[in-house]
Amino acid sequence: MKRTIVLLTDFGIQDSYVGVMKGVILTIQSDAHLVDLTHHIKPQNIVQAATVLKNSYKFFPAKTVFCCVVDPGVGTQRHPIIVKTKDYTFVGPDNGIFAPIIAEEEASIYTISNTKYFLEPVSQTFHGRDIFAPVAAHISKGVAVTKIGTRQKDHVTLNLPQPKVDKRRNCVIGQIVDIDRFGNLITNVKPDFLKDAFVIHLKKKVIDKLSVSYGDAPGGDLLAIIGSHGFLEFSVNQGSAEEVAKSKIGDTFKIDYKGRTGRGENSSHRKRPSKKTKPQSQAQEKKTGSLTPFDFYEEASRKKN
């Protein structure tokens, strides 16, 4: 039965590592359908790998096997694992790379323990070739995960960067979590944080509106847009936001909100309520208006907990 195996690594494509993993898989499962999700994760960047995987896996057909190797702990005591959900199977190291998926899916976790399904001898530096690739191939071929591993209760957790809300300063601090080959800066901020009027401060750049398309801005200008994964991105029409903004993964930026009450950087520009008009209470404001970005964050946090 032909099944899809998706590869995600930080190996790049300059060396032979990815090609060798594919050779191992095809030797075991000759009719496997191999898909390269990406091999350009920053070296050892587990957070970036987990983010890319979380944003991508649901676009694949049921029964897809994901073989993920971003493994700075290779050769140590960290467990090689299989994560089984209703529709997908994930093979890789227990270092947090699968934690976001485990958090949102009903999943069973197995420690890979049956050396029968390894490629011997096992290298201490290339478990992608000797453990993860052959195990993914055998699962794709129909071998039950219970024959390959034993159930484990715990797993390494990973907290993906979340926007930080500062109500006192009326702002949200977001973070760049990925950069694609076009130089688009992908963030962890959802559109709900951009419903009110805002000003974004990214390094020395300032953006005060959300574009609908790249063509909304003149060539070479930095713009903000909601990307295909449903998160805020910074882009440059016919250029690279990475170069224009001189930004990298992990950099933060600030979203200031216009017209919000409180002591913020722009508070001097806000109009004070007249003596004749009593300001609405917070409860009245929620009844008469839509949720603010801060209310959205609190509501999302309550649902998560």
pLDDT score of 100: 95
Q: Is 222 exposed, middle or buried (0-12, 13-18, 19+ CB in 10 A)?
A: buried
CA diameter of the chain: 83
Residue 26: CB atoms within 10 A of its CB come to 15
What's the pLDDT score for residue 145?
97
**270-274 contact pairs (CB < 8 A, 24+):** none
For residue 129, pLDDT beyond 90? yes
- pLDDT beyond 70 at 292: no
Mean pLDDT of 125-133: 97
What does the pLDDT look like over 25-44, one tens digit per residue?
A: 999 999 999 999 999 999 99
The mean of the pLDDT values for the chain is 87
What percentage of the chain carries pLDDT values higher than 70? Answer: 84
pLDDT in tens, 239-291: 999 999 999 999 999 999 975 443 333 333 334 444 444 444 444 444 434 44
pLDDT at 121: 95
Rounded mean pLDDT of 225-234? 94
Domain spanning 164-274, CATH class:
mainly beta
Kindly provide the b/e burial profile for residues 274-300, where b requires at least 16 CB atoms within 10 angstroms of the residue's own CB: eeeeeeeeeeeeeeeeeebbbebbeee
Give pTM, 2 decimals: 0.78
Express each pLDDT in 90-100 by its tens digit: 999 999 999 99
Identify the CATH class of 4-151. Answer: alpha beta
Predicted confidence band at 197 (pLDDT cuts at 50, 70, 90)? confident
Domain boundaries, given as residue ranges, for the chain: 4-151, 164-274
